[in-house]
């Protein structure tokens, strides 16, 4: 990648990690996306566990 050239792909293997601004921006971006994905996965698994755990019978009044 030449100086001043734009990034054409957000994939980690295509990024110029030697440039500090790209490394910081995409590093934080991937960390935030990972946290969001973990939170969504937790919510999905918790909902599935709660729906399967009581046999489909609700005990709430």
At 25-58, the pLDDT tens digits run: 888 999 999 999 999 999 999 999 998 876 556 5
Confidence of residue 22 (pLDDT cuts 50, 70, 90): confident
At 58 the pLDDT is 59
Q: Which pLDDT value is given to residue 45?
A: 95
Scored b (16 or more CB within 10 A) or e, 8-38 reads eeeeeeebeeeeeeeeeebeeeeeeeeeeee
Tokens encoding 8? 């054409």
* 15 against 1, higher pLDDT: 15
């Amino acid at each position: 990648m030449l100086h001043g050239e734009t990034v054409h792909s957000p994939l980690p293997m295509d990024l110029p990690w030697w440039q500090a601004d790209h490394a910081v921006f995409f590093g934080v971006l991937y960390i935030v996306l990972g946290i969001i994905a973990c939170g969504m996965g937790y919510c999905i698994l918790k909902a599935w566990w709660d729906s399967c755990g009581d046999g489909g019978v609700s005990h709430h009044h």
